[in-house]
Amino acid sequence: MNVKEMYKLLWEDTFNYQGLPNPDLWTLETGGHGFGNNEAQYYTDRIENAMVKDGVLHIIARKEDYLNRHYTSAKVTTKHKNHIKYGSIRIMAKMPKGNGTWPALWFLGENMDQVGWPMCGEIDLLEHVGHNPNQIHFSLHSKKRNFGIGTQLTHVIKVERATELFHEYRMDWDEKSISFYVDGTHHVTFTKNKKETVETWPFDAPFYLILNVALGGIWGGIIDDTIFPTEMHIKYVKVYERSDAV
Protein backbone atom coordinates (compact mmCIF):
# COMPACT_ATOMS: atom_id res chain seq x y z
CA MET A 1 0.00 0.00 0.00
CA ASN A 2 1.45 3.37 -0.99
CA VAL A 3 1.88 6.14 1.54
CA LYS A 4 0.75 9.45 0.12
CA GLU A 5 2.25 12.67 1.44
CA MET A 6 -0.20 15.47 2.01
CA TYR A 7 -0.13 18.95 3.49
CA LYS A 8 -2.56 20.86 5.65
CA LEU A 9 -2.45 24.58 6.28
CA LEU A 10 -0.77 25.43 9.58
CA TRP A 11 -0.96 29.23 9.35
CA GLU A 12 -1.13 31.95 6.75
CA ASP A 13 -1.19 35.69 6.23
CA THR A 14 -3.10 36.90 3.20
CA PHE A 15 -2.73 40.56 4.27
CA ASN A 16 -6.45 41.27 4.23
CA TYR A 17 -6.08 44.19 6.65
CA GLN A 18 -4.46 47.62 6.80
CA GLY A 19 -1.49 49.00 8.73
CA LEU A 20 1.56 47.35 10.21
CA PRO A 21 2.08 43.58 9.75
CA ASN A 22 -0.06 41.53 12.16
CA PRO A 23 1.89 41.50 15.47
CA ASP A 24 0.45 38.09 16.37
CA LEU A 25 2.39 36.64 13.43
CA TRP A 26 5.26 39.03 12.74
CA THR A 27 8.04 40.95 14.45
CA LEU A 28 9.68 44.00 12.91
CA GLU A 29 13.34 43.63 13.78
CA THR A 30 15.30 46.87 14.04
CA GLY A 31 18.94 47.80 13.66
CA GLY A 32 21.58 49.30 11.42
CA HIS A 33 24.86 47.54 12.15
CA GLY A 34 25.52 46.16 8.66
CA PHE A 35 24.51 42.61 9.56
CA GLY A 36 27.92 41.14 8.75
CA ASN A 37 27.60 42.15 5.10
CA ASN A 38 28.33 45.89 5.27
CA GLU A 39 24.69 46.58 4.41
CA ALA A 40 23.64 50.23 4.20
CA GLN A 41 20.07 50.21 5.56
CA TYR A 42 18.59 50.77 9.00
CA TYR A 43 15.69 48.41 9.63
CA THR A 44 12.86 50.28 11.35
CA ASP A 45 9.53 49.28 12.86
CA ARG A 46 7.70 52.14 11.14
CA ILE A 47 4.72 51.90 8.84
CA GLU A 48 6.76 53.95 6.36
CA ASN A 49 8.90 50.82 5.79
CA ALA A 50 6.46 47.96 6.39
CA MET A 51 2.84 48.58 5.43
CA VAL A 52 -0.09 46.37 4.60
CA LYS A 53 -2.60 47.87 2.19
CA ASP A 54 -4.80 46.65 -0.66
CA GLY A 55 -4.10 43.01 0.20
CA VAL A 56 -0.32 43.33 -0.09
CA LEU A 57 2.56 43.64 2.35
CA HIS A 58 4.84 46.43 1.14
CA ILE A 59 8.44 46.30 2.37
CA ILE A 60 9.66 49.75 1.41
CA ALA A 61 13.28 50.84 1.10
CA ARG A 62 13.86 54.58 1.29
CA LYS A 63 16.74 57.03 0.97
CA GLU A 64 16.64 59.03 4.19
CA ASP A 65 18.92 59.73 7.11
CA TYR A 66 17.95 57.60 10.08
CA LEU A 67 20.15 57.31 13.15
CA ASN A 68 23.53 56.07 11.87
CA ARG A 69 22.42 55.24 8.31
CA HIS A 70 21.36 57.02 5.12
CA TYR A 71 18.75 54.46 4.05
CA THR A 72 15.84 52.69 5.73
CA SER A 73 14.01 49.43 5.09
CA ALA A 74 12.18 46.67 6.96
CA LYS A 75 12.94 43.17 8.18
CA VAL A 76 9.75 41.26 8.96
CA THR A 77 10.24 37.96 10.82
CA THR A 78 8.38 35.22 12.68
CA LYS A 79 11.13 34.91 15.32
CA HIS A 80 9.76 33.60 18.64
CA LYS A 81 6.23 33.63 17.17
CA ASN A 82 5.92 31.02 14.43
CA HIS A 83 8.72 28.55 13.89
CA ILE A 84 8.76 26.05 11.06
CA LYS A 85 10.15 22.51 10.97
CA TYR A 86 9.40 20.50 7.82
CA GLY A 87 6.38 21.08 5.61
CA SER A 88 5.74 23.40 2.68
CA ILE A 89 6.16 27.18 2.61
CA ARG A 90 4.64 29.22 -0.22
CA ILE A 91 5.13 32.95 -0.72
CA MET A 92 3.67 35.05 -3.52
CA ALA A 93 6.10 37.92 -4.10
CA LYS A 94 7.30 40.60 -6.48
CA MET A 95 10.86 41.86 -6.25
CA PRO A 96 11.96 45.50 -5.94
CA LYS A 97 13.74 47.20 -8.81
CA GLY A 98 17.07 48.96 -8.82
CA ASN A 99 20.79 48.53 -8.40
CA GLY A 100 21.75 48.07 -4.79
CA THR A 101 18.59 46.22 -3.74
CA TRP A 102 19.04 42.84 -2.09
CA PRO A 103 15.65 41.33 -1.16
CA ALA A 104 15.31 37.89 0.37
CA LEU A 105 12.78 35.34 1.61
CA TRP A 106 14.79 33.19 4.01
CA PHE A 107 15.04 31.27 7.25
CA LEU A 108 17.39 31.06 10.23
CA GLY A 109 17.52 28.40 12.94
CA GLU A 110 15.60 29.29 16.10
CA ASN A 111 18.86 28.69 17.99
CA MET A 112 20.53 31.61 16.21
CA ASP A 113 20.95 33.61 19.43
CA GLN A 114 22.57 30.65 21.19
CA VAL A 115 24.94 29.24 18.56
CA GLY A 116 25.27 32.06 16.02
CA TRP A 117 25.53 31.97 12.25
CA PRO A 118 26.36 29.78 10.35
CA MET A 119 26.02 27.06 13.00
CA CYS A 120 22.28 27.75 13.25
CA GLY A 121 21.80 27.15 9.52
CA GLU A 122 20.26 29.33 6.85
CA ILE A 123 17.75 28.44 4.13
CA ASP A 124 17.31 30.92 1.28
CA LEU A 125 14.00 30.38 -0.47
CA LEU A 126 14.87 33.41 -2.56
CA GLU A 127 17.66 35.93 -2.93
CA HIS A 128 17.69 38.54 -5.69
CA VAL A 129 20.13 41.37 -6.37
CA GLY A 130 19.05 44.39 -8.37
CA HIS A 131 22.21 44.62 -10.46
CA ASN A 132 21.44 41.14 -11.82
CA PRO A 133 17.67 41.28 -12.29
CA ASN A 134 15.45 38.22 -12.67
CA GLN A 135 18.14 35.85 -11.36
CA ILE A 136 16.75 33.95 -8.36
CA HIS A 137 19.10 32.14 -5.97
CA PHE A 138 18.11 29.16 -3.79
CA SER A 139 20.74 28.29 -1.18
CA LEU A 140 21.52 26.37 2.00
CA HIS A 141 24.21 27.53 4.43
CA SER A 142 25.73 25.63 7.35
CA LYS A 143 28.93 25.76 9.39
CA LYS A 144 30.89 23.78 6.81
CA ARG A 145 28.96 24.88 3.72
CA ASN A 146 28.45 28.64 3.51
CA PHE A 147 29.14 31.63 1.26
CA GLY A 148 31.96 32.83 3.50
CA ILE A 149 34.07 29.90 2.36
CA GLY A 150 32.38 29.40 -1.01
CA THR A 151 30.94 25.98 -0.20
CA GLN A 152 27.21 26.67 0.12
CA LEU A 153 24.67 24.52 -1.65
CA THR A 154 23.13 26.84 -4.24
CA HIS A 155 21.18 26.93 -7.47
CA VAL A 156 20.35 29.89 -9.71
CA ILE A 157 17.47 30.23 -12.17
CA LYS A 158 16.00 32.95 -14.34
CA VAL A 159 12.48 34.09 -13.48
CA GLU A 160 11.03 36.30 -16.18
CA ARG A 161 9.85 39.73 -14.99
CA ALA A 162 10.50 38.94 -11.33
CA THR A 163 10.41 42.68 -10.58
CA GLU A 164 7.20 43.27 -12.53
CA LEU A 165 5.00 40.25 -11.81
CA PHE A 166 4.07 38.21 -8.77
CA HIS A 167 5.45 34.67 -8.66
CA GLU A 168 4.94 31.94 -6.09
CA TYR A 169 8.17 30.83 -4.44
CA ARG A 170 7.79 27.50 -2.68
CA MET A 171 9.92 25.23 -0.55
CA ASP A 172 9.08 21.62 0.43
CA TRP A 173 11.14 20.40 3.38
CA ASP A 174 11.34 17.02 5.08
CA GLU A 175 13.79 14.85 6.99
CA LYS A 176 15.66 13.89 3.83
CA SER A 177 15.64 16.89 1.51
CA ILE A 178 14.71 20.50 0.73
CA SER A 179 13.16 21.24 -2.68
CA PHE A 180 12.54 24.60 -4.38
CA TYR A 181 9.82 25.58 -6.84
CA VAL A 182 8.65 28.69 -8.71
CA ASP A 183 5.02 28.85 -9.87
CA GLY A 184 4.69 25.13 -9.25
CA THR A 185 7.71 24.13 -11.35
CA HIS A 186 10.42 22.20 -9.52
CA HIS A 187 13.95 23.53 -9.97
CA VAL A 188 16.29 21.86 -7.49
CA THR A 189 16.37 19.47 -4.54
CA PHE A 190 19.19 19.39 -1.99
CA THR A 191 19.35 15.95 -0.38
CA LYS A 192 20.68 14.93 3.02
CA ASN A 193 23.21 12.12 2.80
CA LYS A 194 24.00 9.52 5.45
CA LYS A 195 27.25 11.21 6.48
CA GLU A 196 25.73 14.58 7.31
CA THR A 197 26.29 16.14 10.74
CA VAL A 198 24.76 19.23 12.34
CA GLU A 199 27.76 21.15 10.94
CA THR A 200 26.78 20.29 7.36
CA TRP A 201 23.00 19.77 7.68
CA PRO A 202 21.43 21.72 10.57
CA PHE A 203 18.02 21.54 8.91
CA ASP A 204 16.36 19.09 11.29
CA ALA A 205 15.37 21.77 13.78
CA PRO A 206 12.89 24.67 13.95
CA PHE A 207 13.58 27.74 11.80
CA TYR A 208 11.93 31.16 11.59
CA LEU A 209 11.01 33.08 8.45
CA ILE A 210 12.46 36.45 7.38
CA LEU A 211 11.19 38.82 4.68
CA ASN A 212 13.49 41.77 4.06
CA VAL A 213 15.01 44.22 1.60
CA ALA A 214 18.68 44.91 2.29
CA LEU A 215 20.63 47.62 0.47
CA GLY A 216 24.19 47.64 -0.78
CA GLY A 217 26.68 45.48 1.06
CA ILE A 218 29.01 42.81 -0.18
CA TRP A 219 26.49 41.43 -2.67
CA GLY A 220 23.95 44.20 -3.18
CA GLY A 221 26.74 46.44 -4.46
CA ILE A 222 26.56 50.11 -5.44
CA ILE A 223 23.22 51.72 -4.65
CA ASP A 224 21.45 53.78 -7.31
CA ASP A 225 19.95 56.66 -5.36
CA THR A 226 17.44 57.42 -8.13
CA ILE A 227 15.38 54.28 -7.45
CA PHE A 228 13.81 55.25 -4.14
CA PRO A 229 11.40 54.46 -2.75
CA THR A 230 11.50 50.89 -4.01
CA GLU A 231 9.38 48.04 -2.69
CA MET A 232 9.10 44.28 -2.36
CA HIS A 233 5.47 43.17 -2.46
CA ILE A 234 4.11 40.05 -0.74
CA LYS A 235 0.57 38.84 -1.51
CA TYR A 236 0.56 35.87 0.84
CA VAL A 237 2.60 33.64 3.09
CA LYS A 238 1.23 30.12 3.59
CA VAL A 239 2.83 27.53 5.83
CA TYR A 240 1.70 23.92 5.58
CA GLU A 241 2.57 21.03 7.87
CA ARG A 242 3.02 17.59 6.46
CA SER A 243 0.77 14.73 7.34
CA ASP A 244 1.19 11.17 6.06
CA ALA A 245 -2.00 9.46 4.98
CA VAL A 246 -2.48 6.06 3.44
pLDDT tens per residue across span 44-89: 999 999 999 999 999 999 999 999 999 999 999 999 999 999 999 9
What phi and psi values does residue 137 have, to the nearest 5 degrees?
Answer: -110, 130
- What's the distance, CA 42 to chain centroid? 18
User: What was the pLDDT predicted at 245?
Assistant: 40
Q: Which of 122, 175, 196, 199 is catalytic?
A: 122
ω into 202 cis (within 30 of 0): no
The single-letter code of the amino acid at 198 is V
User: What was the pLDDT predicted at 90?
Assistant: 98
Judged by phi (left if over 0) then psi (alpha if -120 to 50, else beta), residue 131 lies in alpha
Active site residue 122: yes
Q: Which of 64, 127, 168, 175 is catalytic?
A: 127
In sequence order, which residues have a C-beta less than 8 Å from that of residue 46 and are 6 or more positions away?
72
For the chain, which domains are there?
9-245 (2.60.120.200)
Distance (Å, rounded) from C-alpha 222 to C-alpha 199?
33
Q: Is the dihedral of CA 194, 115, 83, 34 positive or negative?
A: negative
User: What was the pLDDT predicted at 6?
Assistant: 82
Number of Cβ within 10 Å of residue 246's Cβ equals 6
Which residue stretches of the chain have pLDDT < 50? Answer: 1-4, 245-246
172-203 per-residue burial string, b: 16 or more CB within 10 A, e: under 16: bbeeeebbbbbeeeeeeebeeeeeeebebbbb
User: What was the pLDDT predicted at 5?
Assistant: 60
User: What was the pLDDT predicted at 244?
Assistant: 60
Instruction: Give this prediction's pTM.
Output: 0.95
User: What was the pLDDT predicted at 243?
Assistant: 76
Active site residue 39: no
In sequence order, which residues have a C-beta less than 8 Å from that of residue 94 and are 6 or more positions away?
162, 163, 164, 165, 166, 167, 232, 233
